């Protein structure tokens, strides 16, 4: 989720629905919850700082944890 200069009506409708229904994204659907662009950016920075080689896929909970590491007072 984030602001955009271009208009994407379908994406806007989907985002509004996802925000309103995110409580229903449980169990296997949890990985599809909407996430803010700032959280994604923080997670990317934290992942790069780990300097782990290879290909990595980060889902919702992974990105939340990574972003928290970057923004916590004592990152690990």
CA 58 to CA 20: how far, in whole Å?
Answer: 23
Contact 76, 69 (CB under 8 A): yes
- Reading the chain (76 residues) residue by residue, the pLDDT tens digits are 767 777 777 877 887 887 777 777 778 788 878 888 899 999 999 999 988 899 999 998 999 999 998 877 665 5
Q: How many CB atoms lie within 10 A of CB 22?
A: 15
Reported pTM: 0.68
Contact 32, 7 (CB under 8 A): no
């Amino acid at each position: 989720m984030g602001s955009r200069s271009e208009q994407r009506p379908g994406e806007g409708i989907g985002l509004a629905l996802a925000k309103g229904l995110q409580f229903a994204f449980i169990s296997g659907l949890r990985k599809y919850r909407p996430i803010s662009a700032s959280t994604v950016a923080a997670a990317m920075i934290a992942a790069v700082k780990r300097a782990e080689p290879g290909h990595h896929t980060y889902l919702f909970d992974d990105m939340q944890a990574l972003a928290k590491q970057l923004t916590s007072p004592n990152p690990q």
